[in-house]
Amino acid sequence: MKQRTIAKSIELVGIGLHKGVPVRMILEPLPENSGIVFYRSDLGVSIPLKIENVIDTTMATVIGKSGAKISTIEHLLSAINAYGIDNLRIVLDNEEAPIMDGSSIGFCMLLEEAGIVELNANKKAIAIKEPIEVAENGKFVRLEPSDSMIFDFSIKFPHRAIMEQSYKFTFSTQKYKDEIARARTFGFVQEVNALRAMGLGLGGSLDNCIVLDENGVMNKDGLRYKDEFVRHKILDAIGDMSLLGMPIMGGYFSFAGSHKLNHFLTKKLMASSNAYEIVELGETALEKEKALATSFAN
């Protein structure tokens, strides 16, 4: 299986969820072995997508370098990861990725419009060899060996519109589009003032977020899936795991996971050399590696 990039540059203008400012984003192809690289065009700073460049995980995943930062990258990265794209330059003229409709379906459409091409180099993946977990206050995120790419997530909220939800997602690009990509981010109306006091949520609205009050969902069209909340948590996890720099061959399991715990999990994995190995998905790949290749078929 070969590395991928996009066929042509493509751009859009949107608004940031937390800062509420307009942002122009351009996606540009990169050659093999370049990885995913963010670029702040207003500051002239490149920020490679690496674990060590994560600077904050409060309500969003934020990367930064040399005084520049880019926030709320997880939805975009989720779509990039789902389409098996290994090399890409993401140019932004402000500090936050556009929120679109609060899901990743808009980014999926953008990638499809740009087109996806294979490069000459073989794709690499991280094969999980031993279970590895991070836990905090009853919440956990865990990676385990698996022949399939699995994201198995459970949540529990004391709100009647959510309560307990679980979803197990066995990865393929088409299934991602059908089952995960349209799930939107969500928040509670009583938290709005607290968020805005922190300088967050300034661009949030019923057009780009599921908002809940004490009676239920405030969005007039309701939910896109009956369990949209847990599906969005899977969307976020797929984006956060892309900080590893290559796809995972294994299973991701979580109860009430967060950007913070996802970040700690990726750091712990990279510090545990016995827990993983990097494999090249070439013509002589093992059956489990071929299964990963199949998962990126549309």
CA atoms within 13 A of residue 6's CA, in its CB half-sphere: 25
| Residue 207 assigned as binding residue | no
Output the pLDDT for position 296.
60
Q: Is 284's pLDDT higher than 60?
A: no
pLDDT of 132 above 70: yes
| Residue 91 pLDDT | 98
Angle at Cα 174 formed by Cα 204 and Cα 1, nearest 5°?
115
Q: Where are the domains of the chain?
A: 2-122, 125-296
168 contact partners, CB below 8 Å, separation of at least 6: 150, 151, 152
Residue 288 above 80 pLDDT? no
236 is in an annotated binding site: yes
Please check if 18 is assigned to a binding site.
Answer: no
**Strand intervals (E) in 129-209:** 132-136, 139-144, 150-157, 163-170, 186-188
- Domain boundaries 2-122, corresponding CATH code: 3.30.230.20
φ, ψ for residue 244 (rounded to 5)? Answer: -70, -15
- Residues annotated as catalytic (active site), given as ranges: 259
| Mean local confidence (pLDDT), 171-193 | 92
pLDDT for res 283 = 54
Average pLDDT along the chain: 93
- pLDDT surpasses 50 at 285: no
DSSP string of 11-58, one letter each residue: EEEEEBTTT--EEEEEEEE--TT--EEEEETTTTEEEE--GGGEEE-S
Measured in whole angstroms, how far is the alpha carbon of residue 61 from the centre of its chain?
A: 9
Three-state secondary-structure class, residue 180: helix
Q: For the domain 125-296, what is the CATH superfamily, name and number? A: lpxc deacetylase, domain 2 (3.30.1700.10)
